[in-house]
Amino acid sequence: MTLRPIKNEIDYDKALSRVDELMELNPKLDTTESNELEILGMLIEKYEEQEWTISEPDPIEAIKVRMEQMDLKQKDLVPYIGNKSKVSEVLNRKIGLSLNMITKIATALHLPLESLIQLPKKHYHPN
């Protein structure tokens, strides 16, 4: 197989088929076949990262799901966020969560901090 970037599902399926063929050969290390297998693995991994990225959980959705699970109403979040209007603003994404709110909500709702902290998205910039 001629090695080239995987650009679509057809290329992806061909690469997977070739990996299956190579795996059955069980090539020794540092042979043409083992090198091809290693490179195909990297190409497949890169394609899967680009095409099937799992998005980070949304902190507000995590809170809403947990509220539903715990049968909580907006007013039940007042001790962790502030007054009723502030709770409403947070749940409607008009204001963000502060670090203080995040720690209180994580503790009270038994949510991992990571699910409440949204880091800026990384952007790929080619040279």
pLDDT band at residue 55, thresholds of 50, 70 and 90?
low
**Which is more confident, 122 or 13?**
13
Asked if residue 59 has pLDDT above 80, the reply is yes
Yes or no: say if 79 and 104 are a contact pair by the CB < 8 Å rule: yes
Average pLDDT over residues 91-105: 94
Does this model's pTM top 0.75?
no
Structural domains of the chain sorted by starting position, each given as residue range(s) with its CATH number in brackets: 9-51 (no CATH), 59-116 (1.10.260.40)
**Which is more confident, 113 or 123?**
113
Average pLDDT over residues 105-114: 93
